[in-house]
Amino acid sequence: MASTAPVIMRIMASSIQTAKLAGGIIRDVLKQGDLGIVDKGKNDPQTEADRSAQRCIIASLTKKFPGVKIIGEEGGSDLNVCDDWLVEDLDEEFLQKSCPAEWRDAKPEDFVIWVDPLDGTAEYTQGYVEHVTVLIGIAVKDAAVGGIIHQPFYQQPDGELGRTIWGLKGLGTGGFTHSLAPPGEFIITTTRSHSNALHQQALNAFPATKILKVGGAGFKVLQLLEGKAHAYVFATPGCKKWDTCAPEAVLEAQGGFLTDINGKNYSYNADVEHVNRQGVLASVGENHSELVYKIPRKVREAVGV
Ligand SMILES: Nc1ncnc2c1ncn2[C@@H]1O[C@H](COP(=O)(O)O)[C@@H](OP(=O)(O)O)[C@H]1O
Ligand SMILES: [Mg+2]
Ligand SMILES: [Mg+2]
Ligand SMILES: [Mg+2]
Identify residue 30 by its one-letter amino acid code: L
In this structure, the residue with its CA closest to atom 1 of ligand 1 is: 238
Alpha carbon distances (Å) from 241 to 140, 196, 249, 267, 278: 14, 20, 12, 9, 12
Probe target for ligand 1 pocket from 35, 243, 258, with the most ligand atoms within 8 Å of CB? 243
276 — pLDDT class (breaks 50, 70, 90) = very high
Q: Distance between CA 233 and CA 81 in Å, rounded?
A: 38
Q: Residue 155 is inside which H or E element, if any?
A: strand 143-155
pLDDT tens-place string over residues 201-212: 999 999 999 999
* DSSP string for residues in 51-119: HHHHHHHHHHHHHH-TTSEEEETT-S------GGG------HHHHTSPPPGGGTT--GGGEEEEEEEEE
Mean pLDDT of the chain: 96
Work out whether strand 231-234 and strand 280-283 pair parallel, antiparallel, or are unpaired: antiparallel
Of ligand 1's atoms, which has the minimum distance to the CA of residue 131? Answer: 17
If you average pLDDT over residues 1-28, what whole number do you get? 93
Q: What is the pLDDT of residue 77?
A: 82
76 — pLDDT class (breaks 50, 70, 90) = confident
Residue of 125, 133, 152, 130 lying closest to 44 (CA atoms): 125
Residues 74 and 118 sit within 8 Å (Cβ to Cβ): no
Task: Indicate if 121 belongs to the active site.
Answer: yes
Domain boundaries defined on the chain? 7-174, 187-303
CATH number for 7-174 (one of 3.40.50.150, 3.30.540.10, 2.40.30.60, 3.30.70.20): it is 3.30.540.10
Residue 15, pLDDT > 80, answer yes
Probe target for ligand 1 pocket from 35, 50, 114, 119, with the most ligand atoms within 8 Å of CB? 119
Q: What is the pLDDT of residue 183?
A: 93
| 3-class DSSP assignment, residue 226 | coil
Q: Distance between CA 90 and CA 4 in Å, rounded?
A: 13
Q: Where are the beta strands (DSSP E) in 191-279?
A: 210-213, 231-234, 257-259
To the nearest whole percent, how much of the chain has pLDDT over 70? 99
295 in contact with ligand 1, CB cutoff 6 A: no
In 108-151, alpha helices (H): 121-126
Q: Which of 18, 47, 91, 121 is catalytic?
A: 121
Q: Which of 18, 50, 133, 191 is catalytic?
A: 50
Residues 230 and 187 sit within 8 Å (Cβ to Cβ): yes
> First vs last Cα of the chain: how many Å apart?
46
Residues 19 and 132 sit within 8 Å (Cβ to Cβ): no
If you average pLDDT over residues 141-152, what whole number do you get? 98
pLDDT tens-place string over residues 221-256: 999 999 999 999 999 999 999 999 999 999 999 999
Ligand nearest to the CA of 235: 1
Q: What is the pLDDT of residue 2?
A: 52
44 in contact with ligand 1, CB cutoff 6 A: yes
Q: Which string of b and e fits 130-141 if b means at least 16 CB within 10 Å?
A: bbbbbbbbbbbe
If you average pLDDT over residues 13-26, what whole number do you get? 98
222 CB-near residues (< 8 Å, 6+ apart): 133, 149, 151, 165, 176
pLDDT tens-place string over residues 23-73: 999 999 999 999 999 999 999 999 999 999 999 999 999 999 999 999 999
The CATH code for residues 187-303 is 3.40.190.80
Q: Which residues are annotated as a binding site for Mg(2+)?
A: 73, 116, 118-119, 243
Compute φ and ψ for 252, nearest 5 degrees: -75, -30
Q: Is 90 exposed, middle or buried (0-12, 13-18, 19+ CB in 10 A)?
A: buried
Residues 246 and 148 sit within 8 Å (Cβ to Cβ): yes
Q: What is the pLDDT of residue 104?
A: 97
Q: What share of the chain is helix, strand, coil (3-state, %, to 5)?
A: 35, 25, 40
Residue 3, pLDDT > 80, answer no
Q: What is the pLDDT of residue 305?
A: 75
Count CA atoms within 13 Å of residue 139 on its CB side: 25
285 — pLDDT class (breaks 50, 70, 90) = confident
In this structure, the residue with its CA closest to atom 19 of ligand 1 is: 191
The sign one gets for the Cα dihedral 195, 212, 224, 231 is negative
Q: What is the pLDDT of residue 249?
A: 98
Q: Distance between CA 16 and CA 21 in Å, rounded?
A: 9
What ipTM did this prediction achieve?
0.98
247 in contact with ligand 1, CB cutoff 6 A: no
Work out whether strand 69-72 and strand 111-119 pair parallel, antiparallel, or are unpaired: parallel
